[in-house]
Chain A
Amino acid sequence: MYAFNYHAPKTVRQAATLLAKNEEGKVLAGGQTLLPTMKQRLASPSALIDLNHAEGMTGIEQKGRNIVIGAMTRHVEVATSAVVKNAIPGLAALAEGIGDAAVRNRGTIGGSIANNDPAADYPSAALALNATIITNKRKITADEFFQGMFATALEEGEIIVKVSFPIPSKAAYEKFPNPASRYALVGVFVAKKGSDVRVAVTGAGSNGVFRSKECEAALASRFNAKALDGVKVAASGLNADMHASADYRAHLIPVMAKRAVEKATAK
């Protein structure tokens, strides 16, 4: 890893000031992606602004009809939170399936969403649940936030502080993990809130997380696994690599969507 200047701000405001001062600087959250990337010298930030000592960035609470999660909340806390399990069990289950136990003890929701890895789990939940990403400057809807592979709406000096998830009536996540890396080859998060059905797909898109119009259209009239029978997803715009062809990923999307709907509607 290349050398960097280290800062441990005590508040989000201090962190934002430091980030603005360090043009080539990066924010360090749980570090479960950033540190391996730096060790491989694929990233060489001039400075790290470490949020691990910043106050007021963790915690989970229900605010009206929303679950609000602090950006530095670790995956293990979301996975085991009684509040999340009760309101959005599909979100707790998703957190329980990220990486491995030690990674979940360290990795954070804010870090995952800010990084927008095309195979990360959380972006699919944020997009399907129509979450709002709350930064030190403004509120951004998930539809506007995710802008392609590793690209987000975050501007310079902008830091995610909280993520707010509207509580759905039904939701679940299913992923087909790459057998070696355990990242999602295809992961599908389905959510129904009132008459609004959203289906977000991670792992498959060559431009990051996206909503499957085909699956959403099929489920709009009837939120039932059978409604997905015969649904075809186009392979154009999907990833093809040594692990799976675009056709195979296209095939897996309705399959995972179906399993997720079965899970979401099971009682």
Chain B
Amino acid sequence: MASVTLTVNGKQVTATVDPRTLLAQFLRENLHLTGTHVGCDTSQCGACVVHVNGRAVKSCTTLAVSCDGASVTTIEGIGTPDNLHPMQTAFRENHGLQCGFCTPGMIMSAIDIVNRKGNKLDEHTIREELEGNICRCTGYHNIVKAVAQGAAAMK
């Protein structure tokens, strides 16, 4: 067993875990933050994307213990039902989801794109940057629109 201390959505947590505990598993099973989804579990679909020290990572491909001391932000940490994050608002307004399974990862990746590339994103950039997030419902069209609008609203 190994000890891990993280700051998750602003709150410090310390736990003793089996070292093979994935960050996604730790968030979902230890902290009950089930907004982070595990889709493919093979590092491809991006449903599990969270921010570690401000950067989007696939939490199904990261050990919780590797993140010891880090600050982690999940979909639960960016807004509340009454006060959505601008990117969440943009997904709602553009109908950027159907089943919603990929949405937490899409939104966390989208915010990371804005952090790296700024508020003015063209369609090509958004599509390239969303390479690691797979949606099986929407055909991406409304997701791309939502990311562009959310990016502009994050100014």
Which residues of A come within 8 Å of B, CB atoms? Answer: 1-6, 8, 28, 31-32, 35-36, 38-40, 48, 50, 52-53, 76, 80, 99-103, 105-106, 182
Which 10 A-B pairs give the minimum distances between C-beta atoms? A100-B132, A6-B19, A105-B55, A100-B131, A52-B66, A102-B58, A1-B20, A102-B56, A106-B57, A6-B2
Q: How far is the CB of A94 from chain B (nearest CB, A)?
A: 15
Q: Cβ of A53 and Cβ of B46 under 8 Å apart? A: no
Q: Is B18 an interface residue (CB 8 A)?
A: yes
Q: Does B61 have its Cβ within 8 Å of any Cβ on chain A?
A: yes
Inter-subunit contact A106/B61 (CB<8 Å): yes
C-alpha gap A31/B59 in the complex (Å)? 11
Q: What is the distance, in angstroms, from B151's C-beta to the closest C-beta of chain A?
A: 14
Q: With a CB–CB cut-off of 8 A, which chain B residues contact A8?
A: 65-66, 68
A99 contacts B61, C-beta separation under 8 Å: no
Contact with A along B66-91 (1 / 0, CB 8 A): 11110000000000000000000000
- 28 residue pairs of the A-B complex, CB under 8 angstroms, read A2-B20, A3-B18, A4-B19, A4-B20, A6-B19, A6-B63, A28-B63, A31-B61, A31-B63, A31-B66, A35-B43, A36-B61, A39-B41, A40-B42, A48-B63, A50-B63, A50-B65, A52-B66, A99-B132, A100-B133, A101-B56, A101-B109, A101-B116, A102-B46, A102-B109, A106-B57, A106-B58, A106-B62
Residues of A within 8 A of B57 (CB): 102, 105-106
- B43 and A36 contact, CB distance less than 8 A: yes
Cα A196 to Cα B57 in complex, Å, equals 39
- Bound complex: CA of A48 vs CA of B19, how far in Å? 9
Please name the residue on chain B nearest to A100 by beta carbon. Answer: B132
Chain B: number of interface residues, binned into ranges: 20 to 34
| A106 CA / B66 CA spacing, docked (Å) | 11
- B66 partner residues in chain A, CB cutoff 8 A: 8, 28, 31, 50, 52
User: Contact at B131–A182, with CB atoms within 8 Å?
Assistant: yes
Chain B binding surface, main DSSP class: mixed
Determine if B19 and A103 form an interchain contact, defined as CB atoms under 8 angstroms apart.
no
If the complex has contacts A3-B20, A36-B42, A53-B68, are A103 and B58 also in contact, measured as CB distance less than 8 A?
yes
**Dominant SS at the A interface?**
mixed
**A106-B22 Cα distance, complex, nearest whole Å:** 14
Q: Are B68 and A102 in contact (CB under 8 A)?
A: no
> Most B CB atoms within 10 A — which of A4, A5, A100, A101?
A101
CA–CA, A253 and B103, complex, Å:
39
**What are the residues of chain B within 8 A of A40 when measuring CB–CB?**
42
Q: How distant is the Cα of A76 from the Cα of B132 in the complex, in angstroms? A: 14
| 8 Å CB contact of A101 from B2, B65, B113 | B113
Kindly list chain A residues whose C-beta atoms are within 8 Å of the C-beta of B133: 100
A76 to B112, CA, bound (A): 12
> CA–CA, A105 to B70, complex, Å?
14
Distance A112 CA – B95 CA, assembled complex (angstroms): 39
Please indicate the chain B residues that have their CB under 8 angstroms from the CB of A31 in the complex. Answer: 61-63, 66
Instruction: Write out the residue numbers on chain A whose beta carbons fall within 8 Å of the beta carbon of B69.
Output: 53
Measured in the bound complex, the distance between the Cα atoms of B28 and A66 in whole Å is 45
Q: Are B129 and A35 in contact (CB under 8 A)?
A: no
- Name the A residues within 8 Å of B49 (CB-CB): 102
**Chain B contacts of A106 at CB under 8 A?**
55, 57-58, 61-62
